[in-house]
Amino acid sequence: MLAKHKQWEAVDETLGYSRAKRAEDEASLVEERLARDLSQAQGMTTVAVAAKLHCILERGSPRPDSDEFPWPQIRSVLMDILAMHGVFSKETCAR
């Protein structure tokens, strides 16, 4: 058993799995904190509101193209806001 553990540690050191897993866990904690901070921040501009909607979509939607309520409606509101700011035209997006 000890030999297997040492073998795992050697392979892990070479591949860097544990290092990568720790980095992923740390990044996830940072993402959680930033998402919480964004959701608690007051949206003073439509761009700020768009950022909050985008965060909700990225973190909450079960998949990017989910057609379950409320995801298409939230995507539509986000697209409206972005179109109002000239990021793209609604016609371009519909294609």
Predicted TM-score (pTM) of this structure: 0.74
78 contacts 64 by C-beta, under 8 angstroms = no
Burial class (CB in 10 A: 0-12, 13-18, 19+), 50: buried
Tell me what pLDDT residue 90 has. 65
**Residue 95 confidence class, pLDDT cut points 50, 70, 90:** very low
Q: What is the mean pLDDT of the chain?
A: 92
User: pLDDT tens-digit profile of 55-79?
Assistant: 999 999 999 999 999 999 999 999 9
Q: Where are the domains of the chain?
A: 1-40, 43-95
